[in-house]
Amino acid sequence: MDNFRFYVPTDIRFGKDRLTTELTDVLDVYGKNVLLVYGGGSIKKNGLYDQVIDLLGKNRNKVVELSGVEPNPRIETVRRGVALCRENEINVILAVGGGSTIDCSKVIAAGFYSDEDPWEVIAGRKGFQGEALPIVTILTLAATGSEMNIGAVITNLATNQKLGVGGPAMMPKVSFLDPTTTFTVPAYQTAAGSADILSHLFESYFNITEGTDVQDFVSEGLMRAVIKNCPIALETPDNYDARANLMWSSSLALNGLTRNGKHGVWSCHAMEHELSAFYDITHGIGLAILTPRWMNYVLSEQTVARFAQFARNVWGITEEDPMLAAKKGIQATYDFFKACDIPMTLPAVGIDEEKFGEMAKQAVAHSTIKTDAFVPLAESDVEAIYRECLTESSFL
């Protein structure tokens, strides 16, 4: 296990009925001028928007709205947000939505104090070390974990790039996690969010660092929680405990708990970011399509022990032969995503092989998967994995 620092100062307010008594007091710590950031309007349909506006109005807050944040938040929206903050002397950003809304808010918060264009901050890939406006979040989708970490991912369609950035000041100050706000999330997004949570856990679990039993066993438990509760939430959308377990799993999967003490970069995210950058698909869906194919591609005598452990401890597979156990675990992963009605081929989400070469090139250029991944991947490897995603698969 590597040396690490684990410092996650986000104040989590978990549970129902907390906004009415706590939201305005939280915001008043930072000031009265609030930038309210949200996405495509789902919070207006479920009543959350009206509730927030009513609370802020009674508290005499000045509210400036930035709506229409995209599922893969775009740099143009970030720029609009930065301009609104400066024009209206914003004191605090209130992000109401899922990971896309929170990611967009984080880069707006950082861009407020920066002399650089927000895309230059992101494209520099050095991490953000400056100041940022304080961020408070109200989470409405269990997926990215952005409510409790420093990272954000932004898309630039003009350059076909989807890149990540992060820094200590971008950590949300307070996050309200009310599982009831996810009751109206459509089944497709619930499944995609669960795939995203699992991918965060997989990416840290299949890692080159040895001696990380604590992180690995916590990861296995969180994986089992998602695998148990996603089907329940799909079948019964207002099941509070299922939604609560998915929501808390989302936060813990990417706040450093399962990742700190390890080194090495993620593989499937690097490959999926190119799918989203070129085709603007749902991030979790792309991850679900790629992950079992990646698992099978990197399975070997060198990696089989980890995959066999995954199969036994997560899926309950009792097969004694390590290689067969590993394959059964990969098949179980594929079958789980398919059972959640996730389309499991790239053509099913509108992607053919035309840009495989270009996307593979950028996946390698925008990451260090060629040298630092669980199994290093060259451009030819990435392209081969993309090709495996053209048709339905069986791994046994």
Q: Phi/psi class of residue 125: alpha, beta or left (left: φ > 0; alpha: ψ in -120 to 50)?
A: left
How high is the pLDDT of residue 126? 66
Q: What is the distance in angstroms between the CA of the first residue and the CA of the last residue of the chain?
A: 33
Please tell me the predicted confidence (pLDDT) of residue 187.
97
As a whole number of angstroms, the distance between CA 246 and CA 197 comes to 8
47: left (phi over 0), alpha (psi -120 to 50) or beta: left
CB distance 372 to 364 below 8 Å: no
List, for the chain, all residue ranges whose pLDDT scores fall below the cut of 70: 125-126
Phi, psi (degrees; rounded to nearest 5) at 260: -60, 145
Domains assigned to the chain: 11-182 (3.40.50.1970), 187-388 (1.20.1090.10)
Contact yes or no for 96/43 (Cβ under 8 A): yes
- The residues near 71 (Cβ < 8 Å, ≥ 6 apart) are 39, 100, 280, 282, 283
Q: Could you tell me the two tokens for 377?
A: 């991947």
**What are the b/e assignments for 1-30, b being 16+ CB within 10 Å?**
eeeeeeeeebebbeeeeebeeebbebbeeb
The amino acid present at 321, given as its one-letter code, is D
- The candidate with the shortest Cα–Cα distance to 149, out of 48, 53, 6, is 6
Alpha-carbon gap, residue 338 to 282, rounded angstroms? 16
By the 8 A CB rule, do 370 and 264 touch?
Answer: no
Q: Is the dihedral of CA 309, 310, 311, 312 positive or negative?
A: positive
Q: 213 Cβ partners below 8 Å, 6+ apart?
A: none
Structure tokens at 201: 């856990």
> Do 154 and 122 form a contact (C-beta atoms < 8 A)?
yes
- Identify the pLDDT of residue 128: 77
The structure's pTM equals: 0.94
CA 235 from centroid of its chain's CA atoms:
23
Tokens of 143: 């997926």
Query: In the structure, how many helices (H) and strands (E) does the chain have?
Result: 15, 8
Q: What CA–CA distance (Å, rounded) separates 209 from 135? A: 33
Length of the chain: 396
Question: b vs e for 276-305, b when ≥16 Cβ sit within 10 Å of the residue's Cβ?
Answer: bbbbebbbbbbbbbbbbbbbbbbbeeeebe
Cα separation, 18 vs 36, in Å, equals: 18
Task: Give 14-65 pLDDT, tens digit per residue.
Answer: 999 999 999 999 999 999 999 999 998 789 988 999 999 999 999 998 999 9
CA-based R_g, the chain, Å: 20
How far, in Å, CA of 122 to CA of 319, rounded? Answer: 46
Closest of 302, 276, 393, 279 to residue 344, by C-alpha = 393
The phi, psi pair for 164, rounded to 5°, reads -105, 155
Query: If 0-12 CB within 10 Å is exposed, 13-18 middle and 19+ buried, where does residue 188 land?
Result: middle
